[in-house]
Every structure is written in C-alpha cells, then in structure tokens.
Amino acid sequence: MSRRPARVGEYLVPNDAKPDTCELCDVPIMWIHTAWGRVPLSVITIEQDAGGRRFATSHYLDCQRPLSEARQAGEA
C-alpha cells in the first residue's frame, strides 16, 4: 500500500488517543503514548490515508503559546 509522504513530527493516531485541550493555547489536541512518553497531537492536522489510518503532527510544532513563553509569564 502506497502512502503519502510523511510530514515532519507526524505520528499515527491510534484509536485510543485521548481527546483534550491544550492548557496553553486552548485548542483541541489528542494525547498518544510513544516509547519516549506522552505526545500531544494537533487535531486540526489529522489526515487519513487510503487505508483508513489517521496521522497527525505533534502539537509542539504548532502551539500558539509555547511552554517557554508561558513559563516566562509565570503561568506554567
């Protein structure tokens, strides 16, 4: 099965991904577990391939309010 090219920071979205909201920028995300720990995925980046598998990019790539900025403001 051929698949479209992978995007930078892209992950397979498992069926058990947990929906949530980013505490820093208040947009919808989904949490997944990887070998390196939990990773938030941006819901708006979800794409589905011809085989029905869903892929999304890490929310760390597009968060409008990065953790470093929130820490500087004393909010995290």
Per-residue model confidence (pLDDT) at position 4 = 67
Q: Report whether 48 contacts 56 (CB < 8 A).
A: no
Q: Which of 9, 21, 22, 8 is nearest to 66 (CA)?
A: 22
Q: Is the pLDDT of residue 76 over 60?
A: no
Summarize pLDDT for 28-38 with one digit per residue, the tens: 999 999 998 99
Summarize pLDDT for 9-52 with one digit per residue, the tens: 899 999 999 999 998 899 999 999 999 899 999 999 999 999 99
